[in-house]
Amino acid sequence: MNRHVAFSFAISMTLSALAIPLRAANKPRAGTDSRNAVSWTNDDLERLHLPGLICIVGRTDEETPKPPSAPAPYVETQDPAWYVGQAAKLRAELERRRNQLGAYRQAIQDARSLKAMTGGMNLDDGDIGITPEAGIETLQQRVSETQLQLDALEALARRNDIPPGTLRD
């Protein structure tokens, strides 16, 4: 018997739960129970603007505040200090390579004239070359590459309107 009562109670609750939204859909909405539509004009709104009749939330005639503009992103190619740093690095590299080439040539010349060598040549310094001439060619190529990088940096500075004396010592 208890099962029949519980089952019939569950069915009646289910049917009533389904009927509530249907009944709510048929009811008139608040403020729409009259069939006449009301048109408001500006004059009507001005008459209602007495204290306490209308509550205005938010800003009305004020401009919306503009968020502060984000700072422009850092563009290193527009910064003269960046060019100074890059040029200093390339000049130091160029000087180091020129000194290396000069020391290599001097070591070859000392070896040819059978002078007493105190230093020697570092044969473990990368791909210097099998013959002395190939080593000189490789070192000259490295000097030329570094000089080309420095020239490219100067050309980039000219394109970005960096003053010419900025890259010089």
pTM above 0.75, yes or no: no
Residue 146 has a pLDDT of 93
Tokens of 94: 């160029």
Q: Which amino acid is at 164?
A: P
Note the pLDDT of residue 50: 60
Q: What is the DSSP letter of 161?
A: T
pLDDT per residue as tens, the chain (169 positions): 666 666 677 777 776 666 565 555 555 565 555 566 777 777 776 766 665 655 666 666 666 666 677 777 777 778 888 888 999 999 999 999 999 999 988 888 888 887 655 555 565 555 556 788 888 899 999 999 999 999 999 898 888 888 878 877 5
b/e burial code for range 22-49 (CB count within 10 A of at least 16 → b): eeeeeeeeeeeeeeeeeeeeeeeeeeee
Residues 19, 35: Cα–Cα separation, whole Å: 26
Task: Name the residue among 2, 139, 154 with its Cα closest to residue 80.
Answer: 154
Residue 166 is given by DSSP the state: G
What single letter denotes the amino acid at residue 143? V
